Amino acid sequence: MKSLGTSKLSDEEILRRYRRDHHPEWIGLLFERYMHLVMGVCMKYLKNLDDAEDATQQIFLKVMDEVNNTEIRYFKGWLYQVTKNFCLMQLRKKSPNDPLDETDDSSQAIVFPEDEEQLQIKDEQLSLLEEAIEQLNPPQQTCIRLFYLEKHSYQEIAELTGYSLMQVKSYIQNGKRNLRIMLEKKQKQLNNG
């Protein structure tokens, strides 16, 4: 595949080709590009190399399944979210039985209902935020994801997107304002409903 000049293809073009002919090599190319991102996020959350490697493989399979049924505007940001959500689910599965280290069976951690409730509230807030980000116009969405989720600087975002520095600042500022408005509106709906 590399010999076909694929390194110059955009993520979106590779996705289109995968959706057209379903060759796993296309997803493999995307995964090669972002393997370090996936592995890094997995290590950050799972704190164990074996678990992170297993999770990375499972995420690869998950991406192959979901990519056909999901509208993806910005693959790298979407992949980051899929990876993060997958890791959080792994931690949740592990948490009720043994929230401490697996090898430490001498101590049993107590999970208080308030903790679970707080986790659920935080999870709901993250879901609402993700929904709100999806409703932003594409430039705002891209800049918000790059700045807040991937921690790029204004200059890096300008280089990645081709927007001017002023446009990047404007998209982030307006995107942030729009997110706040959407989230406040949604919170009022939830409180009233």
Its CATH class, for the domain covering 113-186, is: mainly alpha
Whether the pLDDT of residue 109 is over 50: the answer is no
pLDDT score for 70: 81
d(CA 79, CA 67): 10
The model carries a pTM of 0.49
15: Cβ–Cβ under 8 A, 6 or more apart, which residues?
26, 30, 67, 72, 75
Residue where the block lists tokens 């499972």: 58
How many beta carbons lie within 10 A of that of residue 183, not counting itself?
15
pLDDT score for 176: 92
pLDDT grade, residue 177 (50/70/90)? very high
**CATH 1.10.1740.10 boundaries in the chain:** 1-96
Local structure of 118: helix, strand or coil: helix
Do 97 and 165 form a contact (C-beta atoms < 8 A)? no
Please report, for residues 20, 88, 93, 94, 98, the alpha-carbon distance to residue 103 in angstroms, rounded to integers and kept in the order given: 47, 21, 17, 13, 10
pLDDT in tens, 139-153: 999 999 888 877 888
Is 3.30.590.10 the CATH classification of the domain at 1-96? no
How many beta carbons lie within 10 A of that of residue 67, not counting itself?
19
pLDDT in tens, 45-54: 888 888 889 9
**CATH 1.10.10.10 boundaries in the chain:** 113-186
Question: In terms of DSSP H, where are the helices of 22-112?
Answer: 24-46, 49-66, 75-94
d(CA 172, CA 178): 10
